[in-house]
Amino acid sequence: MAAVVHQLPIELACAVFEFLCFADRVSATHVCKCWRTASLEHGVLWSHIRCRDVAALTVLLGRALRVPVDLEVFDINASTAERILDLVEVHLCHIRVLSLKAFPKLDPDCVPRVHRAFANPAPHLEVVDVRLFDGSIAPGSYPDWIPSAHAFRQRYPTATDAFLPLAPRLRQLSFRTLILPNGPVDALSTLARLELDAVSLSAAQIFAIASLPRLRSLHLDIAECEVPPTPPPPALRLEELRISGAYPVSFSNTPDPLLRYLGFPHIRHFASYGGADWLQAMTCAPRSLPHTVIVEHWSIEQDFNLFSQAWRLIDDGGFVSDHLDVFTGENFRWPDARPMLANLRELVILNVELKRADHTVEFPQLLRLCVRFDASCLSISRKNWPAFSIPCPKLRTLELWGTEDPKAGVFGAQILHLVGSFLLLDRKQPPDLIIRDLVVIHTADEWKLLEGVMKSIQRPEGLAPRPFVVEVQSKWRATVTE
């Protein structure tokens, strides 16, 4: 066997190693001296690094041998931050994807050191995701911390020529906390996606962001800003805009000055955390009444808040509008949505939110209804839908979805109550019932009754679609698979 191993060409052995998982690649280095030498000199094997240990990171970056590296370092803390940033600074020249995550978050006084780690040329760098600090770098609550935040930024300005002096491939940047200068930064000129938290942005900083020639997707987490007095650059063409933080977005009467400056309402995908008259603004020209509405639990960094929701509206013109972290019944009232619902052809909604629908709600054009259930449905009454009925005369597909929780389930009696009483269906043309990734606890009689009232019952393989809020969060994140 040993003779066969040594007869294997080095190039072929390295090609085989690339199919191994990370742990097996490490094991391969201990088989024999020949394999160890070959694998350690084949930098591509070590070009996807995800770790939190400083010693391991040092070894793995050394093995990468200057090939482009995707690097994710997590659980960075006060005791490891300096050494990790030293390594990033030294190896920035061959890092392609960089994700730095701290737990607990670092002290704001570390901001200048983080900026210095990006002071070297980065010819291969494409994606940066830095989450080392809290969204706000000042203590207290809004607006009390704004003055101290201004003072902090004056203490630690970022020079225009000090941040990534050479990064020709940089296309996505998510940075907490990057202190923008009042002028252009050459390294940002290639960006297509930018996520930035800044308590306050000056008019010059807003203009610098709007002047990025390739920028198409922008997320600003801010509390206040100054809108430039001059018109925006003619080349500004955002396809996606998300505004979060304490910034008081307003849709009443005329569009908010910042939104108007950045191109709203003509931006195809817009997301915000509320604001008066949101629904009216999202259904007025050039937008229109949506054909699809999606309602999911809101989450931040996978921390689900079961008490708030996120609404997504999609219309025939291709516009997508997201209302994040809202309370159905308060920020988003069912009676106010009646004109919108009258046009609806597809609805994806949590079962708990569908139960809160107003008794006057109707779905005259609805063709497809997808209801997402969680584990709580098995701990409540078997017949727990409201006593009134919602007309759905054109419904042709009813889908029941589970969640990532393996305990997500529903009683057969609950389904019977849903299709037999709560939803007023066309009995001559009943919908198909499709059940995805959901446990159904039922008796034989209940299942036979379901088969009698539905056109068909299907149980396709595979998971139910993931909530859109996962995509909202993950699109700004950089992760590395070992």
Task: Dump pLDDT digits (tens) for 108-160.
Answer: 888 889 988 999 999 999 999 999 987 655 555 556 666 766 676 677 666 66
Collect all residues with Cβ–Cβ distance below 8 Å to 201 and sequence separation of at least 6. Answer: 180, 209, 220, 222, 224, 225, 226
Contact 49, 61 (CB under 8 A): yes
Helix (H), strand (E) at residue 243: strand 240-244
Tell whether the model's pLDDT for residue 304 goes beyond 50: no
Residue type at position 108:
P
What is the distance between the alpha carbons of residues 286 and 268, in angstroms, rounded to a whole number?
10
Contact 309, 326 (CB under 8 A): yes
Tell whether the model's pLDDT for residue 5 goes beyond 80: no
pLDDT tens track for 354-376? 988 888 889 999 999 999 987 67
> How distant is the alpha carbon of residue 186 from its chain centre?
27
Pairwise pLDDT comparison (407 vs 77), residue with the higher score: 77
Confidence at residue 394, expressed as pLDDT on a 0 to 100 scale? 97
Q: How many residues does the chain have?
A: 482
Confidence at residue 278, expressed as pLDDT on a 0 to 100 scale? 86
Q: Which two tokens stand for residue 294?
A: 């999606």
Q: What number of other Cβ atoms are within 10 A of residue 298's Cβ?
A: 22
What is the distance between the alpha carbons of residues 206 and 258, in angstroms, rounded to a whole number?
9
- Every domain of the chain and the residues it spans: 1-35, 47-237
Contact 60, 482 (CB under 8 A): no
Confidence at residue 6, expressed as pLDDT on a 0 to 100 scale? 60
Q: What is the largest CA-CA distance in the chain?
A: 81
How wide is the angle at C-alpha 289 spanned by C-alphas 393 and 222, nearest 5°?
135
pLDDT tens track for 444-482? 999 999 999 999 999 998 889 989 988 887 777 877 776
Collect all residues with Cβ–Cβ distance below 8 Å to 353 and sequence separation of at least 6. Answer: 295, 309, 328
SS3 content of the chain, % helix, strand, coil (to 5): 30, 25, 45
The whole model's pTM is what? 0.87
Quickly count helices (H) and strands (E) in the chain. Answer: 16, 21
Tell whether the model's pLDDT for residue 40 goes beyond 70: no
The SS3 call for residue 417 is helix
What value does the mean pLDDT of the chain take?
Answer: 85
Confidence at residue 1, expressed as pLDDT on a 0 to 100 scale? 46
Tell whether the model's pLDDT for residue 234 goes beyond 90: yes
Collect all residues with Cβ–Cβ distance below 8 Å to 67 and sequence separation of at least 6. Answer: 43, 44, 47, 94
Among the listed residues 396, 357, 350, the one whose alpha carbon sits nearest the alpha carbon of residue 373: 350
**Averaged pLDDT for residues 322-332:** 78
3-state secondary structure 174-186: EEECCCCCCCCCH
Tell whether the model's pLDDT for residue 275 goes beyond 80: no
**Averaged pLDDT for residues 77-105:** 94
Confidence at residue 392, expressed as pLDDT on a 0 to 100 scale? 96
> How distant is the alpha carbon of residue 437 from its chain centre?
22
Pairwise pLDDT comparison (116 vs 314), residue with the higher score: 314
**Averaged pLDDT for residues 380-392:** 81
Pairwise pLDDT comparison (199 vs 225), residue with the higher score: 225
Contact 353, 328 (CB under 8 A): yes
Tell whether the model's pLDDT for residue 303 goes beyond 50: no
Confidence at residue 161, expressed as pLDDT on a 0 to 100 scale? 65
pLDDT tens track for 178-194? 777 777 788 889 999 99
What is the distance between the alpha carbons of residues 373 and 380, in angstroms, rounded to a whole number?
12
